[in-house]
Structures are given as structure tokens and as C-alpha cells.
Amino acid sequence: MAHLSLPLIKPVVPLAKQLDMRNAGFLVVGRHSAVKACHYTKSSLACKGTCYKSRFYGIASHRCVQMSP
């Protein structure tokens, strides 16, 4: 039986940068993206209030995220 070797897929974001992002509270998703739930999203999910975007713009806090560039 032949051994199949899969090519290693190099991450777009260097591992050191990914570690920095994780330490800052971001969750690395896939090879090139990261997301961080803000304080208001966490509070909204715990039924402890919402952010100003909910009152002024009608945006539900659980739909608002901070994205990495």
C-alpha cells in the first residue's frame, strides 16, 4: 500500500502573528481571517444589555463583529 503525502498548506498569516492575535482575544478562522466578539456582543448574549448600535441603527449585537484586516 502506497503512502500518500498531502502537501502542507502554508498559512497566509504567520504563526507568530496568529499567536499575537489569539493573545489579544481574536479567534483565527481558516488560513487568513480572524474574528473577535466585542464586549457588547458578549453582554447581549448574557442578556445584560446591548450596545449603542442596537438603539440607534437597529443592528443586533450578535450580528456585529470586529474583523481583522
pLDDT for 2-58, tens place per residue?
A: 666 666 777 788 889 989 989 998 888 888 888 888 887 788 778 888 778 788 888
In whole angstroms, give the CA distance from residue 69 to residue 24.
15
Give me the pLDDT at residue 23, please.
94
User: pTM higher than 0.75, yes or no?
Assistant: no
Q: Provide the CA 21 distance to its chain's centre, in angstroms.
A: 9
Mean pLDDT of 56-68: 69
Give pLDDT, residue 40. 78
Is-contact 66 40, C-beta < 8 A?
Answer: no
Distance, C-alpha 67 to centroid of its chain: 7
